[in-house]
Chain A
Amino acid sequence: MSFQQQIRNIFVGGIAIAVTAFMFSGCSSNKSKIGNDNAAEQVYVPPGKHDTFYSFLSGGWTGNISVYGLPSGRHLYTIPVFSQDPTDGYGYTEETKALFNTSHGFIPWGDTHHPEFSKTNGIDDGRWLFVNDNNTPRIARVNLKTFRTDEILELPNTAGNHASPFTSSNTEYLTAITRFSIPMSKPLGNGRDVPIASYKKNFKSTASFVKVNPHNGEMKLDFQIMVPPFDYDLGRFGLGPSKDWVFFTDYNSEEAHTMLEINASQKDKDFVLAINWKKVAEIAHEGKGQIVNATYDHNLVDPKTDVAKTEVLHKVRVLKPSDLKGLMFFMPAPKSPHGINVTPSGEFIAEGGKLSTVIPVQSFAKMETAIQKNDTTGSISGIPILNYKDVTAHEVKNVGLGPLHNDFDGKGYAYATAFISSEIVKWNIKTGKVVDRHATYYSPGHLSIPGGDSRKPWGHYLLALNKITKDRYLPTGPEMFAGEQLFDISGNKLKLLLDFPVEGEPHYAQEIPASIIDTGQVKYFKLEDNHNPYVTRKEKDAKVVRNGHRVDIYMTAIRSHFMPDNIEGIKMGDTVYIHVTNIEQEWDIPHGFALMGMRNAGMLIMPGETRSVKWEPRQVGVFPFYCTDFCSALHQEMQGYIRVSPANSNVKIVYGTNKDLK
């Protein structure tokens, strides 16, 4: 053995010893970090078996919703919502483009934060899932029979749509309140073009109430309320005895407009804003307030044609606090509170103190008493401020650092995330005493318990939505998926079961028993119910139609051929619309459509549906197209050609399949 070899062997051996030592110390010193002994059994879902819960996670900056199964943590699907998806054509096809319209123009992206189930009697009913765009204020509605986005409503007179879209007990209303106050047009403000430093004088906020049609889920901006220019952070409707009220946290009651990190953290207390939405709605419907001009888009998929259309709206009803005496109150809360949650009984309201070391728990009954006694300590913009001690049931102490959010197990306990100290803290709702805690890896934002924000938590699991991933998975460069952690909360102690990575940066999640969703799923669209204006229901009707420089190709797809699959007569300068109808009537037999040189997107067409894509050829030639979704043993044969000729050529439109072109 040469000297060099000896040296190398010593080094390799030394590294091996060091690594082994590290591994052992890693495992033995912190057992809870790697879960419990029987955790594998509890999260194992055998091949062919289904998870017991669906978990819907906002994707944060992906603009979408990600669907996972629990307890396995398996990624089941991604629902495109605010972000275009060139892989299936969502937001590119003629049928879906209009969903992205806003008063600012076409916006291809969004920032989803809070998925929220529709509710019946305060219980998640699994009909629809609503989700906000924080960036350009919008609310989307996902149909949980198809896992598709059916509607997107823009909200005017607001910015930073963060405390949204929480639902009232019977989904009468969704919330939306301003996080980033802005100057507003007259008559609400003094115009939109003002110095930023005139914040206190000119900047405004609104609380929006979006009415939901109980039959089809359609949304309508019913009314807005002017509120002081704070940063409103999160909100919840009451439940049970408090169901007629809605509660919002705010920070920046300092009304800072720059370096909020310091300037919005000056005061010892900020507020919870409580609004009696039920009575405000009655007053609004009596005609109180003012109808003001505002331009905003309402994008809706027509249930008959399956084509999204935009309606530009121009009016909204706005009420002022002076219209609403006795219906709006501020409750002080320590300091820059973040999350706000109402207990399943509806008796208590708990915030995440964020910059405070306690979780304040307000009593709804105490709030009502204080209102009756008219026991206030002043007012802001005509909204009375109640006394902190009059409304507070208790402060939960020893909750760790940076408490952000609570959720409930339905057995009398709340679970809170502590962001800075990276832990989940379990506390007794009635006594306010901490009874258990468990480290998380790392820095949880929200947590979510199945049904944990409703009157009937299903409980059993708790999902910690961690903001920092670091070393939990194999590294993937500087960026990595977010890390979720699943806990078993069926016993007295939190038990860590599973880590699983998720796409984007989920802010909040909603879980629901699988049986509520899985039985009503649409598996294919009935061809006879397809009323898309460009449907081709049978091959005989397939055709190519020229109208000036516009050419419409009406095409069918079935295993495994297109009709027509040979097309000639397209010319440079033409605008071609390719309308593909998948005439299959079987579950999970989509066909894809891809055309060489297509600049916008590919398409996936589900059984029984029609999807249309616009193509403006830039080159003369013959361009192959094919099916991108493996459909049968002869999938590779599912292809065709389109010929593009010079603008001045006299090639006639001809087309066909398996015969001479006609």
Chain B
Amino acid sequence: MTLLGWGCSSSSSKSEAGNQESQSENVQKASDGLTSFQLKNGIGPITQEVKVGPLDQKLVSKGEDLFENKCSSCHKIGQRYVGPDLKEVTSRRTPTYIMNMMMNPEGMIQKHPVAHKLLEKFATPMANMHVTKDQARAIVEYFRSVNPNTQK
């Protein structure tokens, strides 16, 4: 069943391992068609840049709970697991990018050159856990709280 999904769905996130040529071609195409907003903030339901302020502790604890439920099977803070270490993810990516990555992992992996490159490295595509916009925002706040570079 899964194989069918891989084969048929053009919106599917996955590229087959070993098919390097078409992968790099996809990267080329992907970056070609993207706006500078998309390159910086990702592709997905968040199309206005999300501004963050001082750390909101209430939001942090909500985000921590969501992270444990929906993300911790594949991500740890401070170590690589199935996916990348997310301790300093807010230094690498904008809050908007992170939210789009959570809410539209299939589209991001397929169309965004940075997300696509990560799939080559980690091989397991990021799962869509159907987080809402509010939930994604809370998880970003949690990521900010664990990043030592965040001004607190």
Contact = CB atoms under 8 A, between A and B. Distances in A.
A588 interface: yes
| Chain B interface size, under 10 / 10 to 19 / 20 to 34 / 35 or more | 20 to 34
Nearest to B67: A538
Given A48-B8, A633-B17, A658-B81, A537 B69 contact: yes
Interface stretch (B93-101, B127-135, B141-149): B127-135
A560 interface: yes
Interface string A549-583: 00000001011110100000000000000000001
B74 A590 contact: no
A633 B14 contact: yes
A538 B69 contact: yes
Nearest to B12: A588
Interface in B1-38: 1-5, 8, 14, 16-17
A559 B1 contact: no
B72 A584 contact: no
Contact of A539 (B2, B73, B124): B73
Contacts of A559: 74, 82, 124-125, 127
Given A540-B68, A658-B81, A633 B123 contact: yes
A14 B70 CA distance: 72
Secondary structure of the B contact surface, majority rule: loop
B2 A590 contact: yes
A629 B3 CA distance: 9
B72 A589 contact: no
Given A558-B74, A630-B3, A585 B130 contact: yes
Contacts of A583: 73
Interface string A623-656: 0000001111110000000000000000000000
Nearest to A556: B73
Contacts of B130: 526, 585
A560 B17 CA distance: 15
Contact of B2 (A48, A526, A629, A658): A629
Interface in A220-241: none
B40 to A, nearest CB: 27
Interface residues of A, number: 28
A539 B129 CA distance: 14
Interface string A530-541: 000000011110
Nearest to B125: A632
Interface in A17-74: 48
Given A537-B69, A539-B73, A558-B73, A589 B2 contact: yes
Interface string B40-80: 00000000000000000000000000001110111000000
Tell which of B8, B73, B82, B130 has the most Cβ of chain A within 10 Å.
B73
A586 interface: yes
B22 to A, nearest CB: 15
Given A561-B82, A630-B2, A586 B123 contact: no
Nearest to B17: A633
A488 to B, nearest CB: 28
B110 to A, nearest CB: 14
A88 B9 CA distance: 24
Contacts of B70: 538
B136 to A, nearest CB: 14
Nearest to A537: B69
A563 B8 CA distance: 30
Contacts of B73: 538-539, 556, 558, 561, 563, 583
A79 to B, nearest CB: 15
Secondary structure of the A contact surface, majority rule: loop
B72 A558 contact: no
A589 B4 CA distance: 11
A120 B13 CA distance: 41
B66 to A, nearest CB: 10
Contacts of A585: 127-130
Given A585-B129, A589-B2, A590-B1, A632 B68 contact: no
Contacts of B14: 632-633
Nearest to B79: A658
Nearest to A48: B8
A494 to B, nearest CB: 34
B123 A634 contact: yes
A502 B82 CA distance: 42
Given A559-B124, A634-B124, A588 B1 contact: yes
Contacts of A629: 1-2
B4 A588 contact: yes
A583 B1 CA distance: 18
Contacts of A631: 2
B31 to A, nearest CB: 23
Nearest to A558: B73
A632 B72 contact: no
Contacts of B129: 585
Contacts of B16: 633
A541 to B, nearest CB: 10
A558 B75 CA distance: 12
B23 to A, nearest CB: 12
A561 B124 CA distance: 11
A48 B4 CA distance: 11
A384 to B, nearest CB: 57
A527 B72 CA distance: 15
Contact of B123 (A48, A526, A584, A632): A632
B82 A586 contact: no
A589 to B, nearest CB: 6
Nearest to A563: B73
B72 A539 contact: yes
A558 B82 CA distance: 10
A230 B131 CA distance: 61
B2 A588 contact: yes
B137 to A, nearest CB: 18
Interface string A487-527: 00000000000000000000000000000000000000011
Closest 6 CB pairs of A and B: A633-B123, A588-B5, A558-B73, A585-B130, A539-B73, A633-B17
29 contacts: A48-B8, A538-B68, A538-B72, A539-B73, A540-B68, A558-B73, A559-B125, A561-B73, A561-B82, A585-B128, A585-B129, A586-B127, A586-B128, A587-B5, A588-B1, A588-B2, A588-B5, A589-B2, A589-B5, A589-B127, A590-B2, A629-B2, A630-B2, A632-B14, A632-B124, A633-B17, A633-B123, A633-B124, A634-B124
Given A558-B73, A590-B1, A633-B16, 9 more contacts: A48-B8, A538-B73, A559-B82, A560-B82, A563-B73, A585-B128, A589-B127, A629-B2, A631-B2
